[in-house]
Amino acid sequence: MATSQKSPLSMKESELAAPLRKAKLEFGREICSSLDVAEQREWLVTNGIGGFASGTVSGNLTRRYHGLLVAALNPPVGRTQLVAKLDETAHYDGIEYTLAANRWLSGAVEPKGYLNIESFRLEGTTPVWQFALGEALVEKRIWMRHGENTAYVQYTLVRGGQPVELELKALVNYRDFHSSTHAGDWQMKVESIEQGVQINAFDGATPFYLLSAEAEFEARHEWHRDCFLPLARYRGLDDHEDHLLAAIFSTELNVNQSVTLVLTTNADAQLDGRSAWAEKAEHEKRLFAKWASLDAQGASAAPDWIQQLILAADQFIVQRSLPNEPDGRSIIAGYHWFGDWGRDTMIALPGLTLTTGRADIARKILLAFARYVDGGMLPNDFPDAGGRPEYNTVDAALWFFEAVRQYFAATKDTATLVKLFPVLEEMINAHLKGTRFQIHVDEADGLLYAGEPGVQLTWMDAKVGNWVITPRIGKPVEINALWYNSTRDHGRPRTRCGQVRRVICEDGSDG
């Protein structure tokens, strides 16, 4: 990227915080009114701590991973589906309209609210639907609060000659996001509280809340059984499950009036939809401003899809608090089902942070992962249920070196390099001496050897039971390219962190 002639330091704050340009992603009735097509278009919003909300344009759930509140109860893992969806019905001018859609195990599709979708679009990362109810138009949008297990679902009557009545049925659950629920006689505790309901799924479960400052509500306890998940069947997984109708919210909207449902684990969550939306929009403006600060002229000339990538990049960055690093960061390897993985984090770090103007996040990620180095190795992944990370990859540690190299090249942050240097040196020494899974340097040729029967240590790590699909025990070429990169100094292989030590010594920060 070319350097701007205008220094970021001289830019006015108003220039950096300019409104986001309108995204180009928008579907009309040709997509939205076809269930087979619309349910293949999926949306995702995240909260910066590992939780998310996700679904399809049609409104139908097709995966076990879909839901309006999949909360990270042990951020950034412990992801648990708490709220599956809202089944919405609208009454306008004496006619009943459905907004929701459901497939059932019997093969039935009911209701068919997708037929009333006028359009779907993204505003930043926020999915927005418009439903045509005769001559009226109701808009629905979904977003999450950054740093909190809180999802907002807002409905606005944007056009109409008379009020519209809305009835919103909240279907909830409490399960690991990799599983499915067959309720049997499960009795959750659903209690009416001020402005909504509190749900305790069982003793010891995290309570969660369905709240609204504008709507009336009625607590319920009725299981909706045999909800069909077509993509789960396609993947050979359990293809149906049950959800609990926990509450019904109802309200009447006039033109330009909104109602917001708040789905949360926070009993004191912000209920003002207008303020919550403004906070969300401001967060996205700041992300764009950070990127624009790298090159103001380039940012102003960039196509709209670049802006969308900047916002999408943020969805993968999550908080991983540590005892001495409460503001630590990590990167989710992929939605819907992956957590933060060492290899994926280090590969993605430069693109998600350095090129988006967020070097501070890169530093936090590097420092956080440095605390997890063990036996010279970086964790492969962190279990979804929490607990000790798994150290079963040979390349994550080597990608860590490359991430540090790119970070320093972009920032010249010698102070952070000084902090990381002992860890880097420890990692090199461990590989020289030998560590887990026979990872060691072959003294005969200086190449890195790794592997033993039954494990997969490289990125080609597919296994079925005890069957290793692509055994790569030995000296894989890309592993040794990374090893060479980790030890080189001006093209000469070293047995110590030559390049890093040279930078520190030349700077004078460390002998």
pLDDT digit of tens for each residue in the chain (511 aa)? 333 333 333 333 333 334 455 556 899 999 999 999 999 999 999 999 999 999 999 999 999 999 999 999 999 999 999 999 999 999 999 999 999 999 999 999 999 999 999 999 999 999 999 999 999 999 999 999 999 999 999 999 999 999 999 999 999 999 999 999 999 999 999 999 999 999 999 999 999 999 999 999 999 999 999 999 999 999 999 999 999 999 999 999 999 999 999 999 999 999 999 999 999 999 999 999 999 999 888 888 888 889 899 999 999 999 998 777 788 899 999 999 999 999 999 999 999 999 999 999 999 999 999 999 999 999 998 766 666 888 999 999 999 999 999 999 999 999 999 999 999 999 999 999 999 999 999 999 999 999 998 888 998 988 888 888 888 999 999 999 999 999 986 344 444 444 545 544 444 444 3
pLDDT at residue 501, as a whole number: 52
pLDDT at residue 385, as a whole number: 62
Q: Does domain 23-271 have CATH number 2.40.160?
A: no
pLDDT at residue 19, as a whole number: 43
pLDDT at residue 125, as a whole number: 94
Tokens 């624009």 sit on residue: 292
Domain chopping of the chain, boundaries: 23-271, 284-314, 315-507
Amino acid making up residue 114: Y
Q: Could you tell me the pTM of the whole model? A: 0.89
pLDDT at residue 29, as a whole number: 97
pLDDT at residue 323, as a whole number: 73
d(CA 424, CA 408): 14
Distances (CA, A) of 340 to 6, 365, 407: 37, 11, 19
Distances (CA, A) of 369 to 67, 283, 328, 332: 30, 26, 9, 13
d(CA 153, CA 83): 12
d(CA 290, CA 11): 12
As given in the structure block, the two tokens for residue 126 are 């926020």
Query: What does the radius of gyration of the chain's CA atoms come to, in whole angstroms?
Result: 26
User: Which residues have a Cβ under 8 Å from the Cβ of 222 and sit 6 or more positions away?
Assistant: 244, 245
Tell me which H or E stretch contains 247: strand 240-253
pLDDT at residue 455, as a whole number: 87
Neighbours of 387 (CB within 10 A): 10
pLDDT at residue 464, as a whole number: 87
As given in the structure block, the two tokens for residue 453 are 């029967």
Tell me which H or E stretch contains 220: strand 216-228
